[in-house]
Amino acid sequence: SSLPRVHIVTAGIEKVIPSLDDLSVLLRVLARSATGQEMSAYTSLYSGPRQDTDSEGPEAYHVVLLDNGRSTMLGGGYRSMLRCIRCGACLNHCPVYSAIGGHAYGWVYSGPMGSVLTPLLNGFDDSVDLPNACTLNGRCKAVCPVRIPLSDLLLKHRLEQYRRRLTPLFGRFLVRAWAWVATRPRLYQGLMALPLWLMHWRGHRRGALEHIPFAGGWTDSRDFPTPAGRSFIRQWHSRKGKS
């Protein structure tokens, strides 16, 4: 960066911090959350264009701050997302990200933070599926060093999609049907028993299923792990008195 005559820096408006003291805190948090280091080796500080007493550096130095929807987030319910320092801790603990990789998210940001941030910056038109790429296990929320409630924000995205009818009609019907069945434990256990047993029986030899009826998209590019023959509730009841 000291070789070009003109140095242009681009950053989002959320990258502005009050002082160098705040920078030292954020850099330590960033390195420890990302790689477990005390300090990153890829940090450079620049103080502007070359002065008369400097032996090298750019002749001109420009800083371009981007909004691109960030000010809208500032005044809304997603304000906490602007605290993100891009450490990647949420990615490292996300079971969905570890299974599908970063390219599946379709844009610059991946993982839980990408599933929240991309719809806010680009809109739901090209990212309507991202908020649903989450099991809501809460690991991302637990490990975030700046305490962004990522799983809560993903739920908020889902609610917004449902209210705006961005999900297909059949999908909304399935959600309502699932909610109705899930609130009736005995019916839920009865309906799940046969499919679980059949899937376990079909895939127990290979340890995976090559095809699932009515869910072909899940097995287009990879096998589906064979589930246990019984639901968690049934397994828990059978072992209740053994521990």
Average pLDDT over residues 102-130: 92
Q: What is the pTM of this model?
A: 0.77
Res 215: pLDDT: 65
Res 241: pLDDT: 63
Q: How far apart, in whole angstroms, are the C-alpha atoms of residue 162 and residue 75?
A: 22
CA 116 to chain centroid, in Å, comes to 7
Q: Are 26 and 17 in contact (CB under 8 A)?
A: yes
Q: Which of 62, 65, 85, 64 is nearest to 12 (CA)?
A: 65
- Under the banding of pLDDT at 50, 70 and 90, the label for residue 198 is confident
Q: Which CATH architecture has domain 69-167?
A: Orthogonal Bundle (1.10)
Q: For the chain, how many residues are written?
A: 243
Q: DSSP letters along 95-126, please?
A: HHHHHH-SGGG-SS--HHHHHHHHHHHH-STT
| Helix or strand run (H / E) with residue 235 | helix 232-238
Listed range (5-9, 37-41, 83-87) with the worst mean pLDDT:
37-41
Average pLDDT over residues 189-206: 79
Domain ranges of the chain: 1-66, 69-167, 169-238
Task: Kindly report, residue by residue over 151-171, the tens digit of the pLDDT.
Answer: 999 999 999 988 888 888 888
SS3 89: helix
| Helix or strand run (H / E) with residue 88 | none
DSSP class of 156 = H
The tokens for 55 are 């032996």
